[in-house]
Amino acid sequence: MKLIYLAGPLFTNTTNDWQQKANIIKAFDAEKTILVESGGELVCYCPHYTWYIDSGDKHRDLWLKKDEFLVQKSDAVLRLEGESKGADLEVEAAQKLSKPVFYSIDELFEHFKIKRRGEKEKNE
């Protein structure tokens, strides 16, 4: 089992609450896809949950510390599409630790040599 840290936009370029929710949903979708299609071989830490549950800035420093710790503990980082200074910093942290960083779910599966479940059915 490998731990994958999901780094992606949350607040960046959000002009309203709906855009922020769309960013959270994209992250949740990526997490579900990775878990289900890897058959549980890849599990994700999705920092978007933290913000969704405690959507205020009052604990921001604590969440950022926790995120930094979890980047260190992860086996890899998946950088989700979209502009994000925070996600870029998480990628930078991973690279300093020589952690692999991926920009697509396909790259992630290929690196860990995991066949995506349902792949055969999609190609038939």
Q: How far are the Cα atoms of 39, 72, 90, 103 from residue 66, in angstroms, in the given order?
A: 27, 10, 12, 22
> For the residues 117-123, what does the mean pLDDT come to?
57
Rounded mean pLDDT, 17-44: 91
Of 120 and 108, the structure prediction assigns the larger pLDDT to 108
* pLDDT level of residue 23 (50, 70, 90 thresholds): confident
pLDDT digits (tens, 9 = 90+) for 11-20: 766 566 777 8
Rounded CA-CA distance 42/15 in Å is 33
* pLDDT number for residue 52: 61
- Domains detected in the chain: 2-123 (3.40.50.10400)
37-91: per-residue pLDDT in tens?
999 999 999 887 766 666 555 667 777 788 889 999 999 999 999 988 889 999 9
